[in-house]
């Protein structure tokens, strides 16, 4: 009778052939780079300076915002990682920006050789993937902010990814930094309206949310209502106007965006909300998420297809 093996045989964790991978996972990678790939991801993000300085009425210092290629690429990376984990697979953080390309349809995909590194998801692998993704966004997509730094909402996303927690998948995937200025303005109107409903039906939850988004103003709700009467004077450079307090008043002030647009022009109003007070906007979103309110909003749909296309 033949003797058994003298040592323990360890089976490989990763796939031995791409055929064993489910179709949803294979779709995340190139099957034929020469035919499918339009360009490397790094080539696309280099098409524009990743961050730009914007002058905002009523504020002396210029504010910074993401370019569209940088913002869209960040979103594509996040969704790619979330989809990888959703289907139960990981790269254990063993990838970088050079491992990704863009199809002719503008879809972000991983190079085929990455499939040899795939493992079944478990342990700290989620965190390692998210940390590697955060490194890609900060160093490759945004080039560390060049000389002007990173937008505050992008920094907030990177921090969430580096300190990854499973309960924050939804927040990371639908983080406010993925939206353009028009969508941000609309989203905050929705969140504010929901907050007013919560104030009526659950005052304890309302208090918890308010405490997390207050920006140094104890009576920011009443201040906000007063500021609605200020209209364009609210944004004027005047010593009597507290810019810090205005940041906390933003959710209410967005309701008057149509009137402000008539005064300043729509292009200026669009980025007032997202650039002057990005930290407050992130706080508001995170507070709603922590209370389980963010996923209830119809604004969020888990079916995004991010297309990285040149103009």
The answer to whether residue 214 sits within a structural domain is yes
Examine the domain organization and report whether 154 and 108 are in the same domain: yes
Examine the domain organization and report whether 155 and 191 are in the same domain: no
Q: What is the pLDDT of residues 65-121, one digit of tens each?
A: 888 999 999 999 999 999 999 999 999 999 999 999 999 999 999 999 999 999 999
153: domain CATH number is 1.10.510.10
Query: If we measure between CA atoms, which residue out of 163, 191, 170 comes closest to residue 250?
Result: 191
Last residue of a domain, one of 127, 159, 178: 178
DSSP code at position 141: I
Return phi, psi of residue 203, to 5°: -65, -30
Q: How many domains does the chain have?
A: 2
* Higher per-residue pLDDT: 267 or 146: 146
Examine the domain organization and report whether 171 and 185 are in the same domain: no
Domain that holds residue 267: 181-296
Last residue of a domain, one of 157, 178, 199: 178
Query: Over 80: is that where the pLDDT of 2 sits?
Result: no
Last residue of a domain, one of 147, 178, 209: 178
Examine the domain organization and report whether 40 and 118 are in the same domain: yes
Examine the domain organization and report whether 39 and 172 are in the same domain: yes
Query: If we measure between CA atoms, which residue out of 163, 180, 150 comes closest to residue 124?
Result: 163
Examine the domain organization and report whether 59 and 154 are in the same domain: yes
Examine the domain organization and report whether 168 and 220 are in the same domain: no
């Amino acid at each position: 009778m033949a003797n058994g093996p003298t040592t323990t045989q360890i089976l490989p964790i990763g796939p031995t052939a791409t055929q064993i991978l489910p179709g949803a996972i294979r779709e995340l990678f190139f099957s034929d780079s020469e035919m499918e790939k339009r360009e490397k991801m790094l080539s696309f993000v280099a098409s524009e300076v990743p961050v730009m300085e914007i002058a905002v009425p009523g504020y002396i210092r210029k504010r910074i915002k993401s370019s569209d290629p940088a913002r869209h690429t960040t979103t594509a990376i996040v969704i790619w990682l979330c989809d990888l984990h959703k289907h139960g697979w990981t790269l254990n953080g063993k990838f970088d920006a050079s491992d990704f390309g863009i199809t002719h349809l503008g879809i972000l995909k991983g190079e085929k050789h990455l499939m040899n590194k795939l493992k079944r998801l478990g342990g700290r692998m989620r965190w390692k993937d998210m940390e590697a993704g955060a490194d890609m966004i900060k160093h490759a997509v945004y080039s560390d902010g060049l000389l002007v730094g990173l937008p505050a909402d992008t920094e907030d996303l990177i921090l969430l990814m580096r300190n990854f927690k499973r309960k924050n998948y939804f927040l990371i995937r639908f983080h406010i930094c993925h939206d353009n200025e028009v969508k941000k303005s609309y989203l905050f109107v929705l969140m504010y309206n929901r907050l007013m409903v919560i104030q009526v039906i659950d005052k304890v939850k309302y208090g918890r949310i308010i405490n997390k988004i207050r920006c140094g103003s104890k009576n920011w709700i009443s201040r906000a209502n007063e500021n609605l009467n200020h209209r364009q004077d609210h944004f004027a450079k005047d010593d009597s106007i507290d810019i810090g307090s205005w940041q906390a008043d933003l959710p209410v002030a967005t309701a008057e965006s149509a009137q402000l647009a008539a005064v300043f022009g729509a292009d200026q109003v669009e980025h007032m909300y997202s650039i002057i007070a990005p930290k407050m906007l992130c706080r508001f979103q995170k507070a709603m998420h922590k209370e389980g309110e963010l996923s209830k909003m119809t604004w969020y749909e888990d079916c995004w297809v991010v297309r990285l296309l040149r103009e």
